[in-house]
Amino acid sequence: MQQNEAKISNVTLNNDVEYLNAILDQVLLHEGGDELLNTVKHFRSLSKALREDDRPSNFDQLNQEINKLEPPLREKVIRAFSVNLQLYNIAEQNYRSRRRREYQMQDDSIIQTRSLEDGVNQLFQQNITAEQVEEALGNLSLELVITAHPTEATRRTMLRIHQRVADLLKEWEFAYTRYNKKVIQEMIENEITILWQTAEIREKKPSVMKEVSNGLYFFDKVLFDVLPVVHQDLEDLLYEKYNKKIHVPSFLRFGSWIGGDRDGNPNVKAKTTYNTLKEHRKLVLSKYKGSLDQLKEKLSQSTKKVTVSDELLESIAADQVELNYKGWHKQDEVYRVKLGLMLRRLNLTELDDELSYKDAHALLDDLHLIQDSLDKHHPTNHPIKLLREIIRQVEIFGFHLATLDIRNHSGEHESTLTEILRQVGIADDYRSLEEEDKLELLIKILEDPRPLISIYDEFSDETQEMIRTFRTIKKAKDTFGERAIEVYLISMTTSVSDLLEVLVLAKEVGLYRVYPDGRVQSRLHVAPLLETIEDLQFGPTIIKRLFDIPLYRKHLEARGDLQEIMLGYSDSSKDGGNITANWELYKTQDEIHSIASSYGVKLKYFHGRGGSLGRGGGPLYSSLLSQPPVTLGDGVKITEQGEVLSSRYLLPDIAYRSLEQATSVLLTSIAGITQSPEQKEMPTKKAREVMASISEVALKKYQDLIFHDDGFLKYFNQATPLNELGALNIGSRPMKRKGSDRFEDLRAIPWVFAWTQSRQLLPAWYAAGTGLQSYLKETNDIDLLRSMYKNWPFFQATINNLQMALTKADLEIAEVYTKMLDDQTISDRIFTLIKEEYARTKEVVLQIADQKELMDHQVNIKESVRLRNPLVDPLNLIQVVLISQLRKDEEEDLTNKLLEEVLLTINGIAAGLRNTG
């Protein structure tokens, strides 16, 4: 089996890359003549030679010739390498799809790792019974939440072109005649020409509603169809293996922050949120209508030929009277009649008519009526798959499409209540109260059924907007269903009062209510967001104090004894470095889970991971594997944002693969499957102690540079394109929380994005080497670290992410950026620290992984980085030239032109390095 797997994995993408490159060269020749084509080929050759033989003379030659480039040729060269990298990404995705297909073409002795089939086989081979599988499925819950965090540098217009090229490349592979291949090649060349002739840079920041539209694109084109297939395939595989029908609940869902995330984004208002949900419903109803139209075309059975259920006939008669509509011109074709009536109700639902479907359950009831009737005359071992798919879609998407989370900063709620309580005469200055006094007051307010405010009260615009937000949440739940909005997230949660304040505001609009008998009704989860290292360490104390409050326990009972907690990977990593952040996140989850268990409360952790390695990024399945296993059984949420959306969910095959990997890992983890006794024991008490020691040393090393080195901020600002990123217009949110220049107010996204662009990737690895080596220097016990790497998924993911970061980083390129500092003493000193730490980290990581080179454990990714580097390097060198000029020139016209070219290089480098922010 391993030999066959190796054979499959050796399928190369070089043919696709060369094929697309040849077409690109023809486009370059047409658009820029021999000068452009020859220049690009020359730089490709020089850059490739540099990577194959890194002699200083090769690097100097490449850098010198790039410095000689002048506009307008320079801009065309930038764009050529950028498009080249975009086409490489497409070829790589096609390769991944082809690899999956080749596994599926093999006999059943060759199964792709972490596929659904692999997961089901593991269950069966480990003697997990059908009853245990059903129990595990009942605990299976994965919600992926798309956000508008600005790390996707590519315009949606260009992503659509990428999708068309990818589809054509797949068609070309299956075209068997010379004529068909010729036609497809012409179409690909046309698309690449259009790609070249399309402006890459957004002229202005997208509006929030534009971001909503961008997010809905993935639901419309891919997710609406792929999610039901994952569920159906799992159900079919379980039936084949266990010879028993095992129902797979709709465990896999998508949510969204776009239009609901207020933290630091003044453009998100209550009206924005409601309009977002209207767009969600508009799309999902449109998709249902399309699906029902297909089903109506298919189900032409006549009562002259088959016997249908009485319940179906009765429902048709009732609907025809109520809607005053026949449904279909041939009354004997009853399924078409019923589906016609259902389509009429969906149209009325969009209009909020009184004859509309009251909720998605009513639509499901009609679909089940059809299914039950079909079972009377259609072979049950060959169900109508389209009907199964539609039922699953309604179960997953309801009338809301994706659950919209609401997020706001804790300080905003405190300010609102301070004003309200002062105006109604309860507290002169709520904000200044001690925590215990705040809690006493908030509990008293929550226990009192009377409202604090009336429609006649007048407040500041900010407070009025907060009140409108909560009223909108209630209206949304009443209109679009309870699942339309389920969670209110509180950024920068530092105390118990931060959560109770939100409950008070929910009470004012009727989302939270205490009855005279003490019973509590609560329609909204309230979730703390633990972001900084300090917040994570204090998190267990907050949760225990919260669960000790009887009133809050009643709120939890009303919410099914479920508490959601969000963990912030971005700010914790920015605050304490990658190693310490990962360890504190792991430890906090474990501690809070123990507390919750003692109170009989279930926990759902929401992992706020970014796409980049410096913000908790990595493969979706790896994210799941690295969590404490006990935390997976009550449901998992993970953010999917920026360029991750296009890399995972632009193409159906890639989306399916990512989701099946996550499903397979989650299912086997919940079922308690491990590969060895050593894995079951991990993490041992000793392993935890070692990790704590490593983290402590790494934290000091990280903070000594980031917070205590006087020259660091100058280095960061001048040796990266941080200041130029703000002009990229890739998101509606500002780069900084308060518009200040304080490091604390800088968002984690530009922090990571800037380091990635300069090829230093410092947030993803810095200080890890010092932390890991400190243990080895003290004990010389490499065996324990290797055992931790082999048997503890958390530690393995940590080391493997370090490998990826070190592989993508390139300090020779990074050194060119350091020349932009106006103080070379600071530059040389800090860059020396970075180089020394890089070497230290690389050495210890290779020791622990027992490898000769980085990424030897994942040769496909290693090869991908190797092939990309010669295309990314020229863009980095050009970027340095441009930024250096930009920061010196004061002439407005020249500055604008230089900035545009800088932004083009940022786009190109982002395409080459993929997970950039």
SS (H, E, C) 457-481: CCCCHHHHHHHHHHHHHHHHHHHHC
**Positions marked catalytic:** 149, 574
> Tokens for 454?
């009336």
Residue 600: count other Cβ atoms within 10 Å of its Cβ: 11
Query: How far is residue 388 from each of residues 228, 368, 392, measured CA to CA in Å?
Result: 9, 10, 6
Question: Quick one: which of 22, 23, 17, 65 has its CA closest to 42?
Answer: 65
Cα(first)–Cα(last) distance of the chain, in Å?
38
Pairing of strands 525-530, 487-491: parallel
**CA 438 to the chain's CA centroid:** 36
Tally of CB atoms within 10 A around 823: 12
Would you say 318 and 355 are in contact if contact means Cβ atoms under 8 Å apart?
A: no
User: Do 833 and 896 meet the contact criterion of CB atoms below 8 Å apart?
Assistant: no
| Number of CB atoms found within 10 A of residue 674's CB | 16
d(CA 292, CA 275): 26
Q: Which amino acid is residue 241, in one-letter code?
A: K
Output the six-digit token pair for 184: 């497809």
Q: Under a CB-based contact definition with an 8 Å cutoff, are residues 316 and 370 in contact? A: no
Q: Phi/psi zone of residue 850: left (φ > 0), alpha (ψ -120 to 50 degrees), beta?
A: left
> Closest by alpha carbon to 745, among 494, 488, 409, 501?
409
Q: Which of 158, 123, 151 is nearest to 137 (CA)?
A: 123
Residue 790 CA to residue 806 CA, distance in Å, equals 20
What letter does residue 405 receive in the DSSP assignment?
P
| Exposure b/e, 555-583, CB count within 10 A at least 16 = b | bbebbeeebbbbbbbbbbbbbbbbbbbbb
- Residue spans of beta strands (DSSP E) within 148-218: none
For residue 413, give every residue at least 6 positions away whose Cβ sits within 8 Å of its Cβ, in sequence order, or none: 466, 490, 498, 501, 502, 505
Beta-carbon count within 10 A of 168 CB: 21
Q: What is the 3-state secondary structure (H, E, C) of 631-666?
A: HCCCCEEEEEECHHHHHHHCCHHHHHHHHHHHHHHH
CA distance 266 to 409: 12
CA distance 129 to 138: 14
CA distances from 537 to 505, 542, 608, 615, 686 (A): 28, 10, 17, 18, 21
The residue type found at 354 is E
3-class SS at 127? coil
Could you give the residue ranges of the DSSP H alpha helices within 726-823? 748-757, 768-779, 782-791, 793-808, 811-818
Which of 640, 641, 623 has the alpha carbon at shortest distance from 632?
623
